Chain A
Amino acid sequence: MDGGVFAVSADGITKRYGETCAVENVSLKAGRGGIYGLIGPDGAGKTTMLRVIAGILKPDSGEAFVCGHSSEHEQTAVKNSIAYMSQKFGLYPDLSVLENIKLYADLYGVEKHGMRERIDELLDFSYMKPFKHRHAGKLSGGMKQKLQLICALVHKPEVLLLDEPTNGVDPVSRRDFWRILYGLVAEGMTILMSTAYLDEAERCNVIGLMHRGKIIAEGTPEEVIEKSGIKVISVKDGGDRSLVKRLKSYIGSDRVHAYGDRIRVLTSDIDKDVEKLITFAPEAEIEPDRSMLEDIFMSIGGGADADENILSLIADGAGGKTGTALEVRGLTKRFGDFTAVNNISLTVPYGEIFGFLGPNGAGKSTTIKMLCGLLPATSGEGMVGGVDIVHSPETIKSKIGYMSQKFSLYEDLKVYENIDFYGGIYGLTGAELAKRRDWSLKLAGLEDRKNLMTSELVGGWRQRLALACAILHKPSIVFLDEPTSGADPASRRLFWAIINELAGSGVTVFVSTHYMEEAEYCDRLALIFRGDMIAMGKPSELKTSQMQDKIIEVLTSNPFLHMEALSKLDGVLDVSLFGAGLHVRTADAEGLNIKKYFADKHIDAQVQRIEATMEDVFVSMIEKADGGKK
């Protein structure tokens, strides 16, 4: 009954939904053990592939096998040997953590003998034990994902299928999640996962890059990068935000993209382009850089070519004001005896991009809702757009644009009907409404699709439409609550280009995000943890003056094998996965004992001090505020 060497294999899978072909003749093979990552833009067919393999979606043609069993004809065998974790939270919010786990243990027929121990072990492993009697609906986003993983693992599956398991999860929880995954791989489990985070993709043993229903590249991350032939020049703008735009028109918009605090230029001839760039921007730091999956992703395009047209539209949506947009003091919100937001004070001028960072459930959304006038503050005072937030919250609503975390347009209305509805609410009529409707359709890239049902839109389009509706009435302050959550890198990039333009035309943009490279695009950041603002400043300040720990980067094969040992070394505060390597947070700037560790073991490893990334800062500050839990 051995299924051969492959834990998962798929032969010529095709699946159509009406006219659109979600997956076309895709074959893939994942060997036993290790992590296979499916990556690709929204709508590339990743979820469809996972569902077909899990046996819950019937393909039009082709067949998938798990451990040698057909997903279509031997469902019972397949379902017993896999665990599938859907993209949407699939557990019961009114059942407690333990009740959910027990339900799945029973459904999978886990042997009663040793079941308690197994559940305890999983709860311990995931640090979920203190929450075992909490209702699943009351867990934070990161904990929900961990619970879903525990439920999937309770019957010790051979193959784990995960559909974007870390969507909307903060960096601290994401690290925790990955620690669990590596533990499973070490036990010999096979994991097939899709992800929108490309730093996660770099950690996979094998990746399949999907695009328009096909796998266009497959292999180890290094192989895929190598085969693409893409080389990269990194440009550090030194605070000149307009450089991206100028480079785009100089070199071509499809070859230039901002990533974190740098601009990345894709090239096939490094020497020639470096020279070109040095003459074009002599003041910038320019150097060849290691290619990343991010770069490949950008090179296959995802609507990035359209952005020049879109950006030219933005100025039309601006208020163009100067001075203080928002000033609040001592803003506090309590729900019963729980303090969701504690004593937050902010002053933000017009034209600034202000970012909120923090773990799930830290109070970011609550803060944004109070600033919007949607939620009355328990105490505190302030002005938003010149209007008092305590006494006239209703007036604020006409001055601001708000895009909630949850997609809140009407799914059963057509695209243009949604726009007309929001236009109507903001008092636009006749020619004015028609003008703004055309404008927002262009902005969202939906001119050809304005008669589609909103429910038929996918990924980035939905978010851009939601943004267009939020700024239909030309507000001078815009609040965006995790606007890019779950979107693919290309859509996110475009979204941020729009945000940049908005800010450039004098609009204040408040934005919350879990993507640390996005935090770099903000003018200022506030880090919120358990309702407190534990840090605030420019991204560069946070990374330098406010960050006391040093970061040592370690690049080696199978880095997770060394995490445990490294964390026990003297002076090491924390070891975490970062991209394909490790970041070691330490008080010792040289990392001598780390170098010695690898030398003693005769393992090839690059060990070097690097500047802290935003993620390092985030994790370090959260752990400090948490009192150093480990």
Chain B
Amino acid sequence: MIFNPRRLKAMVIKEFIHILRDWRSLFLAIAIPVMLILLFGYALNTDLKNIPTAVADLSGTPQSRELVSLFDGSAYFNVSSRVAGYNDMQSLMRKKKALVGVIIKKDFAEKILRGEPTEVQVLIDGSDANTGRMALNYVQALSVIYNTKLTAQAVRSDGVKINVLPRAWYNQGMVSTYMIVPGILAIVMAVIAAMLASVTVAREWETGTMEQLISTPVTRLELTFGKFIPLYCIGLADIIIAVWLGRLVFGVPMRGNPALLFFVATMFLTGVLFFGLLLSITMKKQVLANQIALVTGFLPTMILSGFVFTIANMPLPIQFLTYIFPARYFVAMLKSIYLKGVGIEIIYVNFLFLCAYTLIMIVAANRRLKLRLN
């Protein structure tokens, strides 16, 4: 008898009791998703709002004022000061009173009216590279909008009505919190695997309960699944908390099929939990297994999954590296399900990779587990 339901149930109950009685780890398991969502939602917010902007409008024409009002009217820029020239602008930016400076030349309006190309000088404080880059992106976006408007006006004067509005798909506001919730789901699961799964078998070896346990008829599958099931339940609870919080606090919509999300999450969760168990089984030391789980489970999920850093922007060798971590497939699928609402037919390749990973972990964990003393 490889799999006895009664023994499995006994193992599951025992593991549940361990988790429920150890209120610290239980608290962490529940608190971590909440903390991560709030922390990442606010701190990793990659949107810049109200960038202090200084304007030197040397043109002083309706055309130049329209450009300035475009800056001031957007949520991203706040025209906080107007200066007379380049020198004032420089001193303002040195004092960090302005992060962006816009200098509109004297001949701005004339050139536009003549239909000639014209230039607007934009100075960006690059000392904080990230902020600088984003400011630059916004400025470029604005210039596109302004150009389009000009083109539209030109066309309209010919009597044709065109209303052109640039639009970013799926994340119209390009709100970065939208990206965060799917990423957090992956991280929460990696943390649970690292924190709870990686210590559970090792703890039994360290305290000596394993010696007693393996003297009973318990089988490897009963032991590993007995430990897996309670952790899986906690992982699912965390997913629900994360999705709900994402919606409640940041208004992140869940566009996809909840059943599909649940299905994909189950596969990932199973894979990372068995990865944690595998480490625990192999290392037999709680601290060691825990740290390796953090380094090989949590960190790649954070860095190499495409959650924080875009995979396409990584150097090629690192891009290849991302393929061996399951988080890559999971985060890609989550973004698709969550934000695009796509079905399995679109994401099945990623899903197959994830299945393969999970299967390997289950088999490896069970093979490594020896019901013998060494």
Contact = CB atoms under 8 A, between A and B. Distances in A.
A181 B209 CA distance: 23
A94 B22 contact: yes
A103 B14 contact: yes
B373 A51 contact: yes
A79 B372 CA distance: 12
Contacts of A108: 216-217
Contact of A107 (B1, B207, B218): B218
B7 interface: yes
Contacts of A92: 14, 17-18, 209
A56 B209 contact: no
A58 B14 contact: no
A84 B215 contact: yes
A133 to B, nearest CB: 13
B214 interface: yes
Interface string A34-62: 00000000000000000100111110000
A80 B9 CA distance: 18
A194 to B, nearest CB: 14
A457 interface: no
A79 B216 contact: yes
A88 B373 CA distance: 14
A103 B216 CA distance: 11
A56 B373 contact: yes
B18 A56 contact: no
* Most-contacted residue by chain A among B21, B210, B215 (CB, 10 A): B215
B10 A102 contact: yes
Interface string B2-33: 00101101110110011001100000000000
Contacts of B372: 56-58
Q: Dominant SS at the B interface?
A: helix
A597 interface: no
Nearest to A54: B215
Interface string B21-51: 1100000000000000000000000000000
A85 interface: yes
A95 interface: yes
B6 A88 contact: no
A455 to B, nearest CB: 12
B208 interface: yes
A106 B7 contact: yes
Nearest to A77: B217
Given A56-B371, A95-B17, A109 B217 contact: yes
Interface string A450-467: 000000000000000000
Interface in A59-107: 76, 79-80, 82-86, 88-95, 99, 102-104, 106-107
A168 to B, nearest CB: 14
Contacts of B119: none
Contacts of B22: 94
A55 B372 CA distance: 8
B163 interface: no
Nearest to B4: A109
Contact of A109 (B6, B209, B213): B6
A81 to B, nearest CB: 10
Interface string B210-234: 1111111110000000000000000
Contact of B213 (A85, A89, A90): A90
A346 B252 CA distance: 71
Contact of B17 (A86, A90, A91, A94): A94
A57 B374 CA distance: 7
A86 B215 contact: yes
A89 to B, nearest CB: 7
Interface residues of A, number: 32
Given A85-B212, A88-B208, A92-B18, A107 B10 contact: yes
Contact of A104 (B6, B214, B216): B216
A80 B6 CA distance: 15
A106 B10 CA distance: 6
Contacts of B217: 76, 79-80, 107-109
Nearest to B211: A86
B212 A57 contact: no
Contacts of A109: 4, 6-7, 217
Contacts of A54: 215
B7 A90 contact: no
Contacts of B13: 103
Contacts of A93: 207
Contacts of A95: 14, 17-18
Interface in A93-128: 93-95, 99, 102-104, 106-109
Contacts of A79: 215-217
Contacts of A80: 217
B214 to A, nearest CB: 5
A91 B10 contact: no
A89 B373 contact: no
Nearest to B22: A94
Contacts of B7: 106-107, 109
A102 B9 CA distance: 11
Contact of A86 (B18, B208, B371): B208
Nearest to B9: A106
A277 B39 CA distance: 84
A609 to B, nearest CB: 44
A211 to B, nearest CB: 23
Nearest to B218: A107
Interface in A143-193: 148, 151
B211 A56 contact: yes
A151 B212 CA distance: 10
A519 B196 CA distance: 46
A491 to B, nearest CB: 22
* Most-contacted residue by chain A among B1, B209, B210, B216 (CB, 10 A): B216
Contacts of B215: 54-56, 79, 82-84, 86
A103 B211 CA distance: 15
B212 A90 contact: yes
Contacts of A91: 209, 212
Contacts of A88: 207-208, 211
Nearest to A161: B215
Contact of A84 (B6, B17, B212, B218): B212
Contacts of B373: 51, 56-57
A80 B4 CA distance: 14
Given A56-B372, A57-B372, A88-B211, A94 B18 contact: yes
A94 B18 CA distance: 7
Contacts of B18: 92, 94-95
B205 to A, nearest CB: 11
A90 B211 CA distance: 7
A94 B21 contact: yes
Nearest to A79: B217
A106 B6 contact: yes
Interface string A499-537: 000000000000000000000000000000000000000
A95 B211 CA distance: 17
Contacts of B213: 90, 107
Contacts of B14: 92, 95, 99, 103
Contacts of A151: 212
Contacts of B371: 56
B27 to A, nearest CB: 16
Nearest to B215: A84
Nearest to B209: A90
Interface of A: 51, 54-58, 76, 79-80, 82-86, 88-95, 99, 102-104, 106-109, 148, 151
Given A84-B212, A90-B212, A91-B209, 19 more contacts: A56-B371, A57-B372, A57-B373, A76-B1, A82-B215, A85-B212, A92-B209, A93-B207, A94-B17, A95-B14, A99-B14, A103-B14, A106-B7, A106-B10, A107-B217, A108-B216, A108-B217, A109-B217, A148-B212
13 contacts: A54-B215, A88-B207, A90-B209, A90-B211, A91-B209, A94-B18, A95-B14, A95-B17, A95-B18, A106-B6, A106-B10, A107-B7, A107-B216
Q: Which 8 A-B pairs have the closest CB atoms?
A: A90-B212, A106-B10, A88-B208, A84-B215, A86-B211, A107-B216, A79-B217, A94-B21
